Structure 1
Amino acid sequence: MSGFDYDLFVIGAGSGGVRAGRIAARYGAKVAVAEEYRVGGTCVIRGCVPKKLFVYASKFAEEFEDAVGFGWASEKVSFDWASLVENKDREIDRLNKAYIRNLEAAGAELIQERATVADPHTVLLASGRKLTALYILVATGATPFVPRHLPGHELAITSNEAFHLERLPSRIVIVGGGYIAVEFAGIFSGLGVETVLVCRGEQILRGFDDDIRNHLAGEMKKKGIEIRTQANVASIERSGDGVRVGLNDGARFGAGQVMFATGRIPNVLGLGLENAGVELTPHMAVKVDSLSRSSVPSIYAVGDVTNRVNLTPVAIREGHAFADTVFGGKEVKVDHALIPTAVFSQPEIGTVGLTEVQARQGYRAVDIYKTSFRPMKHTLSGRDERMLMKLVVDGESDRVLGCHICGPDAGEMAQLLGIVVRMGAKKSDFDATMAVHPTAAEELVTLREKWTG
């Protein structure tokens, strides 16, 4: 468009920014995407993809043990951390190149420099070059949070560094109770690291259904993970080759590493948004409307930098909707309700819809159906692990309001249940559906008795 170097300039080549740039370019827009590090963002480079690979790696120890019950011998097995890190890096390199290819194939230009906002229509590159655009899209994601007031905070690592440790510690203290904390607790524990999880809340996974939270905590403890709730780290100090951690309850103990997984903060520091007058929320996220437009009409933002729902598929959907709206001529608003999600804990969680507490706050009558059972695999493996499934149902309309699972393949089930719950399926629809036998998932359609406990 006349008067500007680009129709769209995207700052940040993560999932949301890349999707927005690709779709806008396909609509015929002249697009540039700036990225100071690697293409793919948190999810691909230092988030959900390498984390899931590490989860797979950490599960093999139990798989080898379980195999004995099925007639296999597993005496001569060993694990090499350096090989895992090297193989993970190779896969991340492949994905980084694939993202670059896809972006350029769509017709977008990749600028591998840091870019900041100079004014509503101008960006400044690290090289000193200024470029103009009709629209600027901020898609810089979020970064791990470490409390700077904490004595010894510089000795702590985050999930970013956990993917590149030179060697596994013999013991690790993980601070936090959310997705990242419980997932890495399972990873390190599965790889043979003595693991302590320190959570300031009364239970892990605040915001999830209470039955699921309690069930997972119990299963994690069976695996040898120590969970210290209603506690927080008060100090960290160097101790030999490791650290010494002090808690606010007076407890002190040594560890090879201490890792903070207490949430992520929007990446807005030094971005220059104040130069354009972009309004931020009290939590320092870019404030946007339902179309991802900021307080400045020419500047939009998608993904974790907006702190709406910080999940990769959400960022992708927001980026696509932005491009459809601004360059595709069709207004698209992202619905942030009923988003299915998974926690790749061990055992993993899959969930969609309302928790029991949320349902009881919004509905006059709520019916609960739930079951806990030993997965069929463990009848021969002998492992002491149970699976939990729970349906939250509107007692008046019979509509399924929420579904919560903790056990093998829960994430895979949640994806399909997300469709069902979004379509407004009733409990009677579940009841009328034939079971697939023998599977764990068949419990979802064979639950008949309401929970009265």
Structure 2
Amino acid sequence: MGPVTRIVIVGGGPGGYEAALVAAQLGAEVSVVDSDGLGGASVLTDCVPSKTLIATAEVMTSFDSSHRELGIRIEDGTHDPADPARVVGVDLGRVNKRVKRLALAQSHDITASVTRAGVRVVRAHGRIEPGQARDGSREVVATAADGREERLTADAVLIATGAHPREIPDALPDGERILNWKQVYELEELPEELIVIGSGVTGAEFAGAYQALGSQVTLVSSRDRVLPGEDPDAAAVLEDVFRRRGMNVMSRSRAESARRVGDRVEVTLKDGRTISGTHCLVAVGAIPNTAELGLAEAGVVLRESGHIKTDRVSRTSAPGVYAAGDCTGVLALASVAAMQGRIAMYHFLGDAVAPLDLKTVSANVFTDPEIATVGYTQADVEQGTIDARVVKLPLLRNPRAKMQGIRDGFVKLFCRPGTGIVVGGVVVAPRASELIHPIAIAVDNNLTVEQIANTFTVYPSLTGSIAEVARQLHTRKAAEES
């Protein structure tokens, strides 16, 4: 038997633990150095908790928006049946207990899976030492909470340390009234009036969730619309839904500060206006966790933003050092982090590997309705990055949507002229995260609109709209060719 390859992974989020599983499968000796718990922020404080909270909000929204249309009557002796006031509420303390319980359970499941695979988990802070030994190996110093140090020798190191919430200097969180997205799960009572600063994905998701749970929400957006990085038609639908449900959406309004005033929070905008609420959630992006890791001394080049610069197989500028996940700034998705980590291990350990292709990545915004995307975008078409035909079909025409009381949303497909190859898509609908998969398969496998149009769908179903959009694109293609 030849020498065993030693892999040390710093960070136990999706990029780290997925890489560990692959490396162990391929016969490497693997250690994961992690200080917070396997799963990282994605499982413990970000993706899993927020989507668990949103699951409760979804039930509330679906009920509120459609129970009358579906003929469901509420009579509990406290309200006149004709009164449109809400008679169903939430116990936020119980919701958050469930959120934290499920997050910890998921972390424990990941730990069990990794240790079963033969991976050693070291509970410590990892720091890579400068330089390499003659055999090309490197050392990682693992410092435990009590100060004890252990030196780990690695033939390859993967940095997968994630990111933490960005803060506004004059709106620092206190964990009680001014919160970041890691702290909201400590709330025992529903905020009566919640100000959300930031209208990106995180801000929009929390704003929609708390509105559904019963808070009066004000969303402060520095841009001209919510979700400025998403499909403009999708963002317009969501903003319309937010406003229709009673949210105060403040566009072109940059927050400068937030301060406690008794049991309330006062937010001051750049133009001098002030708004007041019982709580404030700051959701203005994330900072990569790349400090105090010894990266620069080890020869790892960082971008101006602090993110680690990597190539498409996750290599950094330092030989034998790879990076994956939010610390790279490639695309802040758990699925991308996991793929980066797996690619790194495949590459270093000599297995077959395909470089990361972001044009095949599916992404989802977990608002209500959800917004799912894959491939090329409307902006790519408008900017001339790609020549593509576009068709958008409102869900209002879909029979299953009518039956379920769904009024908002659409399916949009992009295909190449001439060949009809599908190069992108957008779905705005309940469970869009599930509906995007057939479009993602089409994009990843260069399927044509004809192939999608000729594939049977269940009747009635929301997927029928995907086939219908494909038929319309096929008809348009045929007309152009005639």
What TM-score results when the alignment is normalised by the length of structure 2? 0.86
Q: Kindly indicate whether the alpha-carbon contact (under 8 Å) linking 1:341 and 1:415 is maintained by their aligned counterparts in 2.
A: no
Cα gap change, 1:364/1:355 in structure 2, threshold over 3 Å: closer, same or farther?
closer
Q: What is the Cα deviation at residue 412 of structure 1?
A: 0.5
Q: Kindly indicate whether the alpha-carbon contact (under 8 Å) linking 2:400 and 2:460 is maintained by their aligned counterparts in 1.
A: no
Please tell me the root mean square deviation across aligned C-alpha atoms, in Å: 2.4
Aligned match for 2:139, one of 99, 102, 122: 122
1:442 is aligned to 464
1:245 is aligned to 267
Q: Using the alignment, how far apart are the partners of 1:313 and 1:40 within structure 2?
A: 12
Q: Kindly indicate whether the alpha-carbon contact (under 8 Å) linking 2:168 and 2:256 is maintained by their aligned counterparts in 1.
A: no
Aligned match for 1:110, one of 121, 126, 136: 121
Aligned match for 1:153, one of 152, 166, 172: 172
Q: Using the alignment, how far apart are the partners of 1:140 and 1:262 within structure 2?
A: 20
Q: Using the alignment, how far apart are the partners of 1:414 and 1:241 within structure 2?
A: 44
Give the SS at the match of 1:362. coil
1:198 is aligned to 220
2:155 is aligned to 134
Q: Using the alignment, how far apart are the partners of 2:102 and 2:187 within structure 1?
A: 17
2:82 is aligned to none
> Is 1:429 the equivalent of 2:451?
yes
Q: What is the Cα deviation at residue 214 of structure 1?
A: 1.1
> Is 1:87 the equivalent of 2:121?
no
* Unaligned 5+ runs, structure 1: none
Alignment of 1:337-376 (within 5 A): 337-362=359-384, 366-374=388-396
Q: What is the Cα deviation at residue 380 of structure 1?
A: 6.8
Q: Kindly indicate whether the alpha-carbon contact (under 8 Å) linking 1:322 and 1:332 is maintained by their aligned counterparts in 2.
A: no
Cα gap change, 1:329/1:367 in structure 2, threshold over 3 Å: closer, same or farther?
closer
Cα gap change, 1:172/1:434 in structure 2, threshold over 3 Å: closer, same or farther?
same
Q: Which has the larger displacement, 358-367 or 244-253?
A: 358-367
**CA offsets 1:133-152 (integer angstroms, 9 cap, x no match):** 2221100011111132xx24
Q: Kindly indicate whether the alpha-carbon contact (under 8 Å) linking 2:388 and 2:416 is maintained by their aligned counterparts in 1.
A: yes
Q: Kindly indicate whether the alpha-carbon contact (under 8 Å) linking 1:69 and 1:380 is maintained by their aligned counterparts in 2.
A: no
> Is 1:143 the equivalent of 2:164?
yes
Q: Kindly indicate whether the alpha-carbon contact (under 8 Å) linking 1:363 and 1:394 is maintained by their aligned counterparts in 2.
A: no
**CA offsets 1:47-91 (integer angstroms, 9 cap, x no match):** 111111111101222333333444444445442111111122221
Give the SS at the match of 1:110. strand
Give the SS at the match of 1:137. strand
1:419 is aligned to 441
Q: Which has the larger displacement, 428-437 or 49-58?
A: 428-437
Q: Using the alignment, how far apart are the partners of 1:138 and 1:364 within structure 2?
A: 34
Q: Using the alignment, how far apart are the partners of 2:6 and 2:386 within structure 1?
A: 51
1:25 is aligned to 24
Cα gap change, 1:363/1:333 in structure 2, threshold over 3 Å: closer, same or farther?
closer
Q: Using the alignment, how far apart are the partners of 2:401 and 2:454 within structure 1?
A: 29
2:81 is aligned to none
Percent identity at matched positions?
Answer: 27
Q: Using the alignment, how far apart are the partners of 1:213 and 1:69 within structure 2?
A: 25
Q: Using the alignment, how far apart are the partners of 2:199 and 2:62 within structure 1?
A: 26
Q: What is the Cα deviation at residue 381 of structure 1?
A: 7.4
Q: Which runs of at least 4 in structure 1 moved beyond 6 Å after TM superposition?
A: 1-4, 380-383
Q: Using the alignment, how far apart are the partners of 2:264 and 2:325 within structure 1?
A: 36
Q: What is the Cα deviation at residue 450 of structure 1?
A: 5.9
Cα gap change, 1:365/1:333 in structure 2, threshold over 3 Å: closer, same or farther?
closer
Q: Using the alignment, how far apart are the partners of 1:97 and 1:157 within structure 2?
A: 27
1:395 is aligned to 417
